Structure 1
Amino acid sequence: MAGSARAARAILLMAGSQAWHAVIDAHKLLRADLLPHALGGNLVNYNMLGRTEFFCCPTAGGCGAVSGNLSYMPCPNVSVDDHCNGLLLLLDSVANPATRQWARLPPQPPPREGIEAVFYYEEPYLVFDPAISPDYEVFLMPVVASWAELDHSMAESEWPPSLCETRVFSSRTGCWEERSFVREGEPAGSIATMQQAWTMDKRYSVYWREALYMHSQNGYFCKISMANNKCRVIKQSLTDDSDENHQEAYLGKSENGVYCAIVDHKFRIRVWILDESSGQMEWVLKHENNLEQVFLSQDFYEPGDGAWTLEDLNHDAYYDKDSSGEETAAEPKITNHTFVTLLGFHPFKEIVFLNSSLSRGFAYDLNSSKVQDLGNMCPTYYRYIAGQHAYIQASFPYTPCWMENMLPAIKF
Structure 2
Amino acid sequence: MISRSQFDQVMVPNYAPGKIVPVKGLGCKVWDQQGEEYLDLSSGIAVNALGHANPILVDAITQQAQKLWHVSNILTNEPALELATKLCDLTFAEKVFFCNSGAESNEAALKLARRYAFDNFGEEKYEIISTTNSFHGRTLFTVNVGGQPSYTEGFGPKPEGISHVPYNNLQAMEEAISDKTCAIIVEPLQGEGGVTPADSDYLTGLRHLCDKHNALLIFDEVQTGVGRTGYFYAYQGFGVVPDILTSAKALGGGFPIGAMLTTTKVAQSFVVGTHGCTYGGNPLACAVSLAAVNEISKQELLESVIEKGRTFKDFLNKMNKKFGLFEEVRGLGLLIGAQLKGDFTNRAGEIMGKALEQNLMILVAGKNVLRFAPPLNITDEELQSAFDKLEKTFEAVCA
**TM-score where L is the length of structure 2:** 0.26
TM-score by length of 1: 0.26
**In proportion to residue count, which structure has more strand?**
1
Which protein is richer in helix relative to its size? 2
